[in-house]
Structure 1
């Protein structure tokens, strides 16, 4: 007779406990145990542990799996049980971890595999192979692809988040917090009577009374939003540091002359400053010919500006010329800092509105949320729980499916917030999303490549680049060490059929099979694998934080980030007034509704999981556990460096401090 000691850990989440009867059975390479009741007449409480002894006639051999089964108590009382993990102490003196972190419903069975990771060709036991295949078959039935809009990444085939499997839904705490925050925002708007107002603001000072939450950044934005220095700063360290690039030759459709910018360049010429690397361009051609949405019964207007910037000898990025439409001509003047204050201010407002469009649709929705959904779906469908890449990516797919379904229903649907309150909403949003998808490249998603392609390696005061590169390198170091532990040669990468199917679905369903995207359709070397996985983790954590977390701080002061503009761009100079600017900016209702959405989207949730924090215990091998500790140490050191640097800045850049970066796209 031999004895196996089994300890079941119930999750701490709300309602994790159960009154149902939970049965367990151990499966080994030589034999299996009898089914045993884990809780008998006692229910499981949240956060509790329960230990039982299982007697077997002889050793079961190598433990291959643990089967859990739930039955109603007395045939009547039942509820779900959330099991964190099962620990088994064998007669040979080994302690084996079986991670679960799943809900077990009544009359349902869960089969858990040991925490030790293995590649598909290393799982040589026939029983283990069948379990591996069965898990993927079940996952592929649960998580099905669906075309959202032709020419855009595919999404999960669920219309509402309620239908999602419980394991990928919000925790009770997060769901309660999210809906409470949303309800609070909407209730406040209704009470003020501003939500449905179609009046223009009488003055910008009126906006001050509706900003209920103030912080250092939003107060700075309010004070400096119309200054050229802050306008230029935002191209580097604002909500969207992804547009600006070094300019070595003016576009043919942007006929800026030396005479126009002589005051800005202090006697130098454009050619001279281009050779020095001091001229930069931000081109919004992706918006060209898109028709503005109708908001509150009134037509809104979109432009596709070109912005020329100059990095002066003090390292300050300044705008020196703005053309609001792509096609040059008499009715499309080039606006300059030497124009009237009102003309120049309005030109910058149109640029900031263009920023809203490309930022929210391309760099936020597509390049973080939709890609995160692609990575999540491919992981759940193609990587079984023993796969090392599944264990690595599990913390980075938390809540993504639910937040994206909610976004599709609440933001970009027919009656969604962007459709109702944004100039880029409706048909133009889908067109812009298709254009963005068609132009998306692998190198644009890899920060070192992206910075190099845009010629931004030496731009001063570029904190997004500085912090982002450090964070990329920390993630890359961790990913390389962890994956190299399991993939000890390029041949291992090539033989991993699960991995190859994973990357194939990302290429096909996410990037629509576009060879021109540069996204690999297969992986041949460990080096290729490490770079791709680094990109995945950076995208869903750091990149999302950089374009999401400051939305209210930079956009809460509406003139700096208008969601819609009610008048077309001026065709001539000299006719803009402060009153015409107020008439162009969003009306009162559009403003306050836009602010409420930005506040909700950039608010930390109740269960915020910062980068490097792994609440699930998925590893029990020494090397992965040691590498996780080193990763966390590197992140803490970077956090300290950023905080020390920020003490010296008038406006601290906080968005890539690891403390402020979520593991996943969860908001």
Structure 2
């Protein structure tokens, strides 16, 4: 933890016992930033983390320019982004915006709709400030992204009034450098909130819970689907109960440490309105975000539009292994559609998961029908993916990659100053100090670090993908024991392939000077904070 690069953070020791500081700033953190302790300041690292960081699931391809919001324009102003071609054309390697879009070179992090309905109330809270942000990236010939514009939006002061919006572009002098750093910090704060409240809590912890509860209520311990899912349900209900007591509760850790404060769960609930189970599998999610196109000639039937997209390329290896294992299992026990439809326990499990557990979504037409072996296999593959690899990719990098608060501040306390504001003189006089003053307080930062350290820790009794208790006797079906060992062997092969990718200098988003290798989807891990490992279940 490079406290020396931000002197005022050293004062955290006055608030926290030294053993805690020593633990939080141990060599585990240096494993990830020792090669280049100032990498987080660079634009290329800011962009790289959208593909290989803690939250690699929000980057999307720009398909309409300027980007357009679906929010009510009467309340939130013009739906069209303020970013124009003149803002970014000098950063597109000689292309026009239309050419960049046609060549699939323009990408975006869009938190406009997730945040704008809440910004007024956030900014009315003491010590919390936010924008709704959009960030545009250009895909370079090297396969890396570079940020080309950041839009900072506030809601209109009154219905029908113009919404205050500001577009910043890569810096050209000292002043614009620091304004750009402040804008990136607000983007990262938006990203941290959506990561924790939507992608991590809602889409893995909370979304899995109804399926687990219904499994215990309706599936016999001897039922083949219960046996398949059993390792992927381990500890999830317990950790969710603890989260409701200590993390996402009113005035809890999440409200204390993240910019939205008391609005955190409202943001999560609002995101649930657009949640769709049929788009939670990795291939469907990549297609939805425009990050891949269907192509039968490519492995997994998809062609990634950014070849070096570590989360997606490693994730597809694991998704395919899970899919093959689940298909073999389902085909063995459910060879026909009638076998699926006539299994009363199975049908009751799925009915309750949808109609009771996800009651608000029970009438949605996109729910898969549980009427064929293929549909059953698809549902089970998605559940195994969410509980294992998807959760691991979003959880176990929180301390190693996000524990250094300036890299990814979960909370912002000041807006970016305008020239007409008194704060602008303070900013010009000491931009470094002003930047630090926008970050969490020392006590808030330490509290956040302590929590994500715990959340990133593997327990000594963790079971990882390809492992399970009593691997030779968990079922009396010798064919399935053999099929599981085949799956475990494939998981070990995937680990070797990921290791090879992390050594390939042509993959610049995971290999290079000061570049952190992407290990969040490495299946195995020793105990502790390691920044790798794919447990079977949502267990922390």
Shared topology, TM-score over 0.5?
Answer: yes
Mapped contact 1:307–1:323 kept (Cα < 8 A)? yes
2:288 to 449, 453, 474: 453
The equivalent residue for 2:151 is 323
Mapped contact 2:83–2:151 kept (Cα < 8 A)? no
Distance in 1, Cα, partners of 2:104 & 2:374 = 33
2:467 to 574, 593, 613: 613
The more displaced of 262-271 and 511-520 is: 511-520
Map 1:152-301; keep pairs closer than 5 Å. 192-195=13-16, 211-212=25-26, 213-219=28-34, 222-250=37-65, 251-252=67-68, 253-284=80-111, 285-291=113-119, 298-301=126-129
Map 1:81-480; keep pairs closer than 5 Å. 192-195=13-16, 211-212=25-26, 213-219=28-34, 222-250=37-65, 251-252=67-68, 253-284=80-111, 285-291=113-119, 298-325=126-153, 331-338=164-171, 340-426=176-262, 428-456=263-291, 457-480=304-327
Mapped contact 2:61–2:108 kept (Cα < 8 A)? yes
Secondary structure class of the residue paired with 1:310: strand
Structure with the higher helix share, 1 or 2: 2
Distance in 1, Cα, partners of 2:180 & 2:32 = 24
Secondary structure class of the residue paired with 1:627: helix
Deviations 1:586-622 (A, max 9, x none): 1111111111111110011121111121114320221
Map 1:471-490; keep pairs closer than 5 Å. 471-490=318-337
1:547 to 394, 400, 403: 394
Secondary structure class of the residue paired with 1:642: helix
The equivalent residue for 1:665 is 538
The more displaced of 324-333 and 583-592 is: 324-333
Deviations 1:148-187 (A, max 9, x none): xxxxxxxxxxxxxxxxxxxxxxxxxxxxxxxxxxxxxxxx
Mapped contact 1:332–1:571 kept (Cα < 8 A)? no
Distance in 2, Cα, partners of 1:506 & 1:226 = 45
Mapped contact 1:566–1:585 kept (Cα < 8 A)? yes
Matched, 1:534 2:367: no
The equivalent residue for 2:439 is 585
Mapped contact 1:549–1:655 kept (Cα < 8 A)? yes
The equivalent residue for 1:89 is none
Mapped contact 1:504–1:522 kept (Cα < 8 A)? no
Distance in 2, Cα, partners of 1:444 & 1:537 = 14
Q: Tell me the TM-score normalized by structure 2.
A: 0.81
Shift of 1:521: 6.6
Aligned length, in residue pairs? 467
Mapped contact 1:552–1:598 kept (Cα < 8 A)? yes
Mapped contact 1:478–1:627 kept (Cα < 8 A)? yes
Distance in 1, Cα, partners of 2:228 & 2:163 = 57
Mapped contact 1:382–1:502 kept (Cα < 8 A)? yes
Relative contact order, CA 8 A, sep 6+: which one is greater? 2
Matched, 1:502 2:349: yes
Map 1:27-38; keep pairs closer than 5 Å. none
Distance in 2, Cα, partners of 1:192 & 1:636 = 42
Unaligned runs of 5+ in 2: 1-9, 69-79, 157-161, 292-303, 505-510, 525-532
Deviations 1:22-67 (A, max 9, x none): xxxxxxxxxxxxxxxxxxxxxxxxxxxxxxxxxxxxxxxxxxxxxx
Mapped contact 2:50–2:58 kept (Cα < 8 A)? yes
Cα distance change, pair 356–458 in 1 and its aligned pair in 2 (3 A): same
Mapped contact 2:179–2:416 kept (Cα < 8 A)? no
Distance in 1, Cα, partners of 2:446 & 2:106 = 37
The equivalent residue for 2:454 is 600
Distance in 2, Cα, partners of 1:191 & 1:246 = 40
Shift of 1:194: 2.2
Distance in 2, Cα, partners of 1:498 & 1:378 = 10
* Larger CA Rg, structure 1 vs 2: 1
CA RMSD of aligned residues (A): 2.6
Cα distance change, pair 503–270 in 1 and its aligned pair in 2 (3 A): same
Shift of 1:291: 4.6
Mapped contact 1:312–1:318 kept (Cα < 8 A)? yes
Structure with the higher strand share, 1 or 2: 1
The equivalent residue for 2:76 is none
Shift of 1:422: 2.2
